[in-house]
Amino acid sequence: MKRRQSRGGRSITRRLYRLPLLCGTGRMPQAPRSSASRGAPICATSAAMAEADDIAPRAGKEDVPPAPSGALPESEGPGPSVKVSTARVSPGTLRTGADLAPYIDHTLLKPEASRDDLLKVAEEARKHGFATVCVNSANVALVARVLAGSKTVPIAVVGFPLGAALSSAKAFEAREAIRAGAREIDMVINLGALKSRDYALVHQDIAHVVEASRPYPVKVILETSQLTREEKIIGCSLAKAAGAAFVKTSTGFSSGGATAEDVALMREVVGDDVGVKASGGVRSAEDAMKMIQAGANRLGASASVAIVTGQTSTAKY
């Protein structure tokens, strides 16, 4: 299959990022060895791409089983979807560190975080005008109370940090977090299923959390440091097909964080109708600008105050 030249000189063919032979066999044709070099697109046969084109439009409907019975309270219906900006940010609009604040998810996910730590983070977010505060689901109610009346919204993480929980458990955690005040959900993808090429399970896992979180947006954390280039592409494709609003690089608790290269690849895969969040290792305004230039439109950081005040943090995530 010939590659098409896209705008801006990009040569990655969007069709190669369509859902790859998903939900039936959970298998994808192996990329030829010659395409394994850095920057090369994942190739497949014409027949495989034709099948992927046929499956992709149906992936969010026919191939998603209903949520497990008995695990969740009865749904009140999907309702209107809360919209979030997913498009690229123009770096020219960001002249100072403070201009980055509306794109930052101020983050505190350490398990030892105390009540005082959480209150401090929430107050910092109100003061600097950060987009959100991202905390563990057990802490979201406290943060939501502090943020009430401000433009900053609470986020809860789900299946964090391993992503290895049952889909029903992730969906239940998401719904309970929203009841406690979360207005966005950051879930961890099922890494083991993705690496095992069980794409049906990965898609189902995300779709259950998306459904349980309605009408609020869901971000899917890929943990890019643990994935091959092919797995990153497939993970982004699955997240988009399952209805995620964002794809996100990292938990900040694994062996590596966000890189500009990964952010650029993720943005190329999902386009402008799904957001890209760079998280893990963003410690300064310079780091943040690199991620935005690569295509991120949301930044996850515990070093948020340092970023907007022109300092560099030594935080590990």
CA distance 42 to 158: 30
CA distance 51 to 27: 12
> How distant is the alpha carbon of residue 87 from its chain centre?
14
Catalytic annotation present for 248: yes
User: Is 277 part of the annotated catalytic residue set?
Assistant: yes
Distance CA 24, CA 22 (A): 6
Say how many Å lie between the first and final Cα of the chain, rounded.
41
Beta-carbon-side half-sphere exposure of residue 140 (alpha carbons within 13 Å): 26
Question: 186 an active-site residue?
Answer: yes
Those residues with Cβ within 8 angstroms of residue 80's Cβ, 6 or more apart along the chain or in another chain: 215
Question: Could you write out the DSSP letters of every residue in 101-119?
Answer: GGGEEEEE--TT--HHHHH
Residue recorded with tokens 């780091």:
287
Cα 222 to Cα 225: distance, rounded to the nearest angstrom: 9
Q: Which of 232, 240, 248, 290 is catalytic?
A: 248
Give the C-alpha separation, 244 to 206, whole Å: 8
Whole-angstrom distance, CA of residue 151 vs CA of residue 99: 15
Catalytic residue among 219, 232, 277, 290: 277
Check 105, 186, 205, 287 and give the catalytic one: 186
The set of catalytic residues is 186, 248, 277
